[in-house]
A and B are shown apart, each in its own frame.
Chain A
Amino acid sequence: MSTVATDLQAVVEDAAAHLYVWALKDIPQDLRDALVEAQKRETSVPGQRVLQTIIRNVEIADDEKNLVCQDTGIAVYTCRVGERFPLHPVRIYEALRDGTARATLEHPLRSNAVHTITRENTGPNVGHRLPIVHWEFVPDWDGLDVKCVPKGSGSENMSFLKMCVPADGVKGIKQFVLESIVGAGGKPCPPGIVGVGIGGSADYAMYLAKEAIARPIGTRNADPVVAQLEDELFELLNETGIGPMGLGGDVTVLQCHVEHADTHMTLNPVAVNYQCWAARRATAHVAADGTVDLDREA
């Protein structure tokens, strides 16, 4: 049993090291399609220039096997752990941390991690509570899904939270999302994915917003009421005229995704988390026997 566990830890570490670099170089097909679609409908001159440059950049990253964007971000992982997966989450975390560090040193990748107060570098994209790992535990399953989302700072800096009151209603939610994205202007590298988290608590709303930006582009929330809000916000955000890189135009966002949790009767939290156009993500499905299936589209 301990042998299996040790091997599995090495497998997860290898997967993490691979996912981090792969996500940075090879963006998902749904994102590529969304960028081409955006370029077709953009009518402003600077907007066209930006979108054509973005598409050319993605092709060059493919040809040169280089990173799409230099900001290797903070490594954020989402783990879905089956209750019978034979490696404890303590060891999964170690594997993700070690894989992140190894990828950073071997490639090499720019190391962004610093102590929040001293600003001294804390290691190869690892440090106290870095990388960030979110956990979900799945009953009656023996597998592990690891999704790596390297999150750039330009877009992460454009994160916003408002504790609306119940009387603000859905209108309050919409207004806050619109104000946030207009206020962000060109800073988060539009057009990207606007993630919105509603309900729960202050911290959970922001977690949900982060979950929303990691979904494949254009997927819709299973709850039809929430899905309708996604459609409405997507239309409204593209009417603001902020445009590609904030230079003005028709395409301000590629998509808007909303995740929700039920909340207290007196709460109406709304969180906005932005994901830049280089919306990088990559997933590994790890089976209990150590078999790994890599998946760019999940």
Chain B
Amino acid sequence: MTTTHEVTFPVTDPEEILKLRAGDEVVVQGHIIGIRDRTQIRIFDQGQEPPMDLRGAFLLHTAPGVRKRDDGGYDKVCIGTTTSARMVRFTEPLGERYGVRAICGKGGFPDEAIEPMRRHGMVYFAIVGGAAALETTQIEEIEEVAWEELMPECLWKFRVKDFGPLTVGIDAHGNSLYHDVQAAAQEKLKELFARI
């Protein structure tokens, strides 16, 4: 039996994250931050401080499709989520140095994310990859954009309403659905190989 939660980001109370368990359903309110490969390469490999506060933040792995307005702001066109696994090595410093509490993407993180997430009280949220038409309707506004020269891999601030449904893929207690599914599948493969 799984539970459904509503969480508003950024979070200030660590309990908001600790109460979540792998497999639970979550709907998110408040503000989330869009981030991607080049954004994180700039922060961690090139040593540039992010011009947004990431404490208690929810990070979304995205490079949105947008339309620039005459006033310099951006309208959403189509906003979806990219594969997380490419960016797993940034998990530890995001939690330790910047106090990020949630990372959301598609396809999951490998096992190397489990320990940093447990240590820093973080979770990984699985979104449905490719479901961008729905996701776009749940993003109310693009409130801020930094590092526009990395377009579309900038740092984005979105205001969201009823963002989800998300599934807790990795919780802050050392549990990972991806680990469990992969372990079971490897066992199953042995059986299938014996049969074919």
**A residues apposed to B, CB below 8 Å:** 45-46, 49-50, 53-54, 56-58, 60-61, 64, 66-72, 107-110, 119, 152-154, 157, 171, 174-175, 178-179, 182, 185-189, 232, 236, 239-243, 245-248, 276-278
Q: Is the CB of A247 within 8 A of B177?
A: yes
The 9 closest A-B CB pairs, nearest first, are A70-B80, A61-B133, A187-B107, A57-B131, A110-B65, A70-B132, A189-B129, A69-B130, A57-B134
- Contact string, B26-64, partner A, CB cutoff 8 A, digits 1/0? 000000000000100000000000000000000000111
How long is the Cα–Cα vector from A185 to B180 in the complex, in angstroms?
11
> How many B residues are at the interface, by size bracket?
35 or more
Q: Is the CB of B108 within 8 A of A67?
A: no
Is the C-beta of B106 less than 8 angstroms from some C-beta in chain A?
A: yes
Main secondary structure of the interface of B (DSSP, over half): mixed
In angstroms, how far is the closest chain B Cβ from the Cβ of A223?
Answer: 20
Q: Identify 12 new A-B residue pairs, CB closer than 8 A, beyond the known A60-B134, A70-B136.
A: A45-B23, A46-B167, A53-B131, A66-B132, A108-B77, A154-B106, A239-B188, A243-B181, A246-B178, A247-B126, A247-B177, A277-B130
Quick one: given A186-B126, A187-B83, are A178 and B132 in contact (CB under 8 Å)? no
Main secondary structure of the interface of A (DSSP, over half): loop
Q: Is the CB of A49 within 8 A of B133?
A: no
- Interface set, chain B 108-127, CB cutoff 8 A to A: 108, 126
Q: Is the CB of B196 within 8 A of A171?
A: yes
- Return chain A residues, CB-CB under 8 Å to B129: 69, 154, 186, 189, 245, 276
In angstroms, how far is the closest chain B Cβ from the Cβ of A139?
Answer: 39
Q: Is the CB of B182 within 8 A of A178?
A: no
- Return chain B residues, CB-CB under 8 Å to A182: 182, 185-186, 189
